[in-house]
Amino acid sequence: MEPWILATLAAALVQTIRFSLQKSLKGAGLSSGGATFSRFLFAAPLALVLSTGLVAGSGAALPAMGGRFWVMVTTGGLAQIVATMATVALFSARNFAVGIAFTKTETVLVAGFSALVLAEPVSGWGLAAILVGVAGVLFLSVPVGGRVLALFNRASALGLLAGASFGLSAIGYRAATQALDAEGTLIRAAVTLAAVTSFQTVAMALWLRFAEPGEMTRVLGQWRRTALVGVTGMLGSLGWFVAFTLQNAAYVRALGQIELVFSVLGSWLIFGERSTRRELIGIGFLGLSIVMLVLLT
């Protein structure tokens, strides 16, 4: 199995665990901003230690970080903040498994962004696999008891916002790893991750200081939970960054939809939730999309 596939599968599994933890934080009284901030606060120091250790162990100098690198880091970092806040807010609108599924509108957007920004178009079979996944998302967009065409609701709006923002962040991160002058996939991924999480921590701290006074104190007061969110966030992001370094971001994000399988299991086993038949059909389409991607692209 190719390294980018292994990295993506590991990232999807760890990200599902992290979203489960963030959902419990939202239930513990933290705002969407506070739950999002917890994802970066403890991840940044860990990413800095990891990247420093890898660079020192390689015997090479710290890689040069030019203007394009920082533009892509900032763009991807801000987009991920928006996407994470929208996803956390989405948990209160639909159940956990469906909430994660809504964000998967990103796959077709990443394909478009890849072609336009990075000149990395997907193949015909790859596009077909992505469109099958989009069909699954449309099934999931229909409210329980709603009409087939009733696609526009708060949950779908949050999901689309999260998907578009996650898509933009994926392109930003792949572009950043490509712009980094460094040898070795793991070093490029780790250094980019350290830069991104450090920027996000500072940006979120400033936002909470002025927009939600007192929320940072509440985040620190939940440090036993928030620290675990940071650890899982860092490990999951490292997997994504390694995959982005090795492969077209559209394929990475499309394969990452296997996270839905993990989220359904988490929804059943952890939160005691159940999905409707329509939602399961949507998840089935997404599963077919993943199989097509692995076998045909």
pLDDT 10s digits, 9-41: 999 888 878 777 766 665 567 787 887 787 788
Q: How far apart are CA 21 and CA 39, in angstroms?
A: 10
Q: How confident is the model at residue 296 (pLDDT cuts 50, 70, 90)?
A: low
Domain that holds residue 216: 3-296
Cα–Cα nearest to 240, from 61, 8, 42 = 8
Residue with tokens 């996000």: 200
pLDDT digits (tens, 9 = 90+) for 84-139: 788 777 766 655 556 666 676 777 788 888 888 888 888 888 888 888 877 877 67
Q: How far apart are CA 188 and CA 242, in angstroms?
A: 8
Four-residue CA torsion sign, 25, 166, 254, 280: positive
Cα–Cα nearest to 106, from 297, 249, 281 = 249
Q: What is the pTM of this model?
A: 0.80
Tell me how many domains the chain contains.
1
Output the CA–CA distances (angstroms, integers) from residue 201 to 36, 48, 137, 188, in the order listed.
10, 12, 31, 20
